[in-house]
């Protein structure tokens, strides 16, 4: 069985990498490539655009044109576009693999309503290594969390528009859930001035933006006399793209419902 995959944001850095990952994957083929309707690359061959050679799939500017041609849409774009795509896919009963982050509460509500009857895999990070880190963080938090100060550091390229990263927030949520804390109440996003002594229950976040950093994340458990640090560093977007394609192939055989990469990897 070959799973027909569509990629939106096809002309972007991640879109091109996703197209390449689909081309390299067994059991999958690219069925559609979508870009903004005002893009100068509408009509271009998606394979040539991604550097994998001509494949006969032209980039289109409207998901409605191709919604009947694919099984699963992979979307790593922006919240506004992803919500629109979710409404189209939800109405057509199509699956979605979503790596978009930075949704507002209102956008989350519209998104959730749109895909309530479709299979969807939603994750802040699709790399196998990061999802392994989520399991390690849960373990570390349960062993050390009550006796340690916890800080989350992340760094990304200068073009990333949301902060902290969705992955950093997910790491904080894993730790907070393991300790029975509400991240919304205990998160501290940056420090400046006379902040006073650190409160033990807080989880701190530090954000760096610059250069071409693909994605670095470290969670530190700092106790008296020792510290444990769990780190993941991505050197290529292909690690995310391979995971997303793996998720799309897996999702195509699942019933309607909401899944994450932990489900795909059998870690839940």
Give me the active site residues, please: 156, 160
CB 114 within 8 A of CB 87: yes
Which has the closest alpha carbon to 159: 4, 14, 54?
14
CA 253 – CA 260 distance, rounded (Å): 14
Three-state DSSP at 116 gives: coil
* Other C-beta atoms lying within 10 Å of the C-beta of residue 129: 14
Preceding amide of 104 cis, omega within 30: no
Three-state DSSP at 179 gives: coil
Three-state DSSP at 99 gives: coil
Q: What are phi and psi of 171, to 5 degrees?
A: -60, -40
């Amino acid at each position: 069985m070959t799973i027909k995959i569509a990629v939106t944001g096809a002309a972007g850095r991640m879109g091109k990498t996703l197209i390449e990952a689909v081309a390299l994957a067994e059991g999958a083929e690219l069925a559609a490539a979508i870009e903004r309707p005002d893009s100068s690359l509408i009509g271009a061959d998606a394979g040539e655009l991604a550097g994998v050679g001509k494949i006969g799939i032209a980039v289109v500017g409207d998901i409605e044109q191709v919604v009947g041609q694919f099984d699963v849409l992979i979307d790593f774009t922006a919240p506004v576009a992803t919500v629109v795509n979710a409404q189209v896919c939800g109405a057509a009963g199509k699956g979605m693999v979503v790596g978009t982050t930075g949704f507002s509460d209102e956008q989350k509500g519209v998104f959730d309503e749109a895909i309530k009857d479709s299979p969807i895999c939603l994750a802040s990070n699709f790399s196998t290594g990061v999802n392994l880190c989520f399991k390690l963080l849960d373990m570390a938090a349960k062993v050390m969390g009550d006796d340690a100060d916890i800080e989350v550091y992340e760094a990304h390229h200068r073009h990333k528009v949301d902060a902290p990263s969705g992955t950093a927030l997910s790491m904080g949520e894993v730790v907070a859930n393991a300790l029975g804390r509400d991240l919304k109440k205990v998160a501290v996003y940056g420090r400046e001035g006379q902040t006073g002594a650190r409160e033990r229950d807080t989880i701190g976040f530090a954000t760096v933006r610059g250069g071409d950093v693909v994605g670095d994340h470290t969670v530190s458990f700092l106790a008296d006399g020792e510290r444990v640090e769990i780190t993941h560093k991505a050197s290529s977007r292909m690690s995310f793209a391979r995971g997303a394609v793996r998720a799309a192939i897996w999702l195509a055989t699942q019933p309607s419902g909401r899944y994450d990469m932990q489900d795909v990897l059998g870690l839940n």
